[in-house]
Amino acid sequence: MPSVLTINSGSSSIRFALFEVSLPPIRLLQGKLDRIGSDDVALSVDPGDGSPPKRIKADIKGSAIGYLMDWLESQPQFKSIDGVGHRVVHGMLHSDPELVTQPLLDELKALIPFDPEHLPREIEFIEAVQQRYGQLPQVACFDTAFHRSMPLVAMQLPIPRRYAAKGVRRYGFHGLSYTYLMQELARLGDPAAVRGRVILAHLGNGASLAAVRDGQCVDTSMGFTPAAGLVMGTRSGDLDPGLMSYLALTEGMTAAQFQTMVNHESGLLGISDCSADARNLLAREVSDPRAAQALALFCYQAKKWIGSFAAVLGGVDTVVFAGGIGEHAAPLRERICEGLDFLGIKLDLEANSGNAPLISAAKGPVAVRVIRTDEEAVIAALSIRLLGFEPT
């Protein structure tokens, strides 16, 4: 059977999965190379045979991508791959997945200033596959595509109009995750997936929310870059633009230093001064007020975004939590939803504490769900369809 490798390159990690072409695609192997750039790079692997996942200390002497490619080539499942699908975080105005060609690759390189945190590694992996397997087709699946349905009023930035012609606008991200969540809502028979008002919350180290009406995205919290919107693990979320000039004047901070600060030194890490990981902060919050303050800010802002999107949608029928925090941090889901009874959002605390698929109170008018997102499954399905492989 043909198979497709999916690559999800982040700023500090690379997720991968190998799928056999079928309906739905069957996962043969999956894993993650994380903490890239640190002294503690590790390769986590789920063999797909029911055995426990393995964690391997990665001995990287050169490129992290080269290391991962060498490891993948050593796996027996890798020998039969017929295509590679990539998550590409920034796709500008691309609405559909596309076959990687040299013109598309040149275009992506020109887009690096739009997303210097993700695009360079995504491009590097595409080129690494090209160099080793020149005839292997590759597909670019764009994270921004889900948000192309947003109305102009949700896309525009209030700066001089001439910049819009250069592509400066709100794009939104986490689109592959949101695509999966909407597909799962439909599979579960939730009527709001087709006709209704849905708020999707992808909460993890990167975090955002999206407002969806009748299956179409109408607004999202991230903006021109993935650093905007909600406070995240190490990203600041929205900031007063005057802060950059203030820090430039008072501390001599350069644009590059500011970029590093808002993407790698801020968010939960910056506020807590100890960790970007919500699990660590929950364990410390009783004894460390900084950890408690970081979590309080995260929940407060998530609550505000839900409220603002309920206003945009004229109410809400379904709320979905996903991502590492959204799927596993029951205390944070409870704090985010606390006080939202006026919107019809009310949790069943026992179901929530057990991370149940449906955590809303039985008589509540709004369904609140926890769905484990799966960007790799979406990349695989999109790639299989575009490459014309016939699933069985």
Say how far residue 24 (Cα) sits from the centre of its chain. Answer: 22
- Are 210 and 320 within one domain? yes
**81-88 β-sheet, strand order:** 54-57, 42-46, 26-34, 14-20, 3-9, 81-88, 138-142, 98-99
- Domain membership of residue 86 (yes or no) is yes
Specify the pTM: 0.94
- Residue 391, pLDDT > 80, answer no
- Are 244 and 118 within one domain? no
Contact 180, 375 (CB under 8 A): yes
- Are 118 and 52 within one domain? yes
Residue 58 — pLDDT band, cuts 50, 70, 90? confident
- Are 14 and 118 within one domain? yes
Segment 152-158 shows an average pLDDT of 97
> What DSSP assignment string belongs to 225-279?
STTSSS--SS---S--THHHHHHHHHH---HHHHHHHHHHS-HHHHHHSS-S-HH
The domain that holds 23 is classified in CATH as 3.30.420.40
Distance CA 68, CA 56 (A): 12
Closest CA to 176 of 263, 90, 115, 278: 90
Percent of the chain surpassing pLDDT 70: 99
Query: Residue 24: is the preceding peptide bond cis (ω within 30°)?
Result: yes
- Domain membership of residue 245 (yes or no) is yes
- Domain membership of residue 151 (yes or no) is no
- Are 197 and 58 within one domain? no
- Are 68 and 183 within one domain? no
Contact 273, 290 (CB under 8 A): yes
Span 162-215, pLDDT tens digits: 999 999 999 999 999 999 999 999 999 999 999 999 999 999 999 999 999 999
- Residue 375, pLDDT > 90, answer yes
User: Can you give the pLDDT at residue 79?
Assistant: 82
- Are 311 and 356 within one domain? yes
Contact 329, 205 (CB under 8 A): no
Q: How many helices (H) and strands (E) are present in the chain, helices listed first?
A: 14, 13
- Domain membership of residue 378 (yes or no) is no
- Are 195 and 105 within one domain? no
| Catalytic residue, candidates 115, 143, 219, 374 | 143
Closest CA to 216 of 153, 145, 161: 145
- Are 68 and 129 within one domain? yes
- Domain membership of residue 158 (yes or no) is no
- Domain membership of residue 387 (yes or no) is no
- Domain membership of residue 58 (yes or no) is yes
User: Can you give the pLDDT at residue 13?
Assistant: 83
User: Can you give the pLDDT at residue 50?
Assistant: 74
Angle at Cα 300 formed by Cα 298 and Cα 306, nearest 5°? 100
Mean pLDDT across the chain: 93
Distance CA 316, CA 307 (A): 10
- Are 113 and 190 within one domain? no
Asked if 143 is an active-site residue, the reply is yes
Lowest mean pLDDT among 32-36, 232-236, 357-361: 32-36
DSSP state of 94: -
Contact 172, 201 (CB under 8 A): no
Question: Domain span at residue 107?
Answer: 3-142
Span 303-353, pLDDT tens digits: 999 999 999 999 999 999 999 999 999 999 999 999 999 999 999 999 999
Say how far residue 233 (Cα) sits from the centre of its chain. Answer: 12
User: Can you give the pLDDT at residue 40?
Assistant: 81
- Are 356 and 251 within one domain? yes
- Domain membership of residue 159 (yes or no) is no
DSSP state of 92: T
Contacts of 380 (CB under 8 A, 6+ apart): 4, 6, 17, 19, 25, 85
Split into its structural domains, the chain has a count of: 2
Contact 264, 247 (CB under 8 A): no
- Residue 380, pLDDT > 80, answer yes
- Are 97 and 28 within one domain? yes
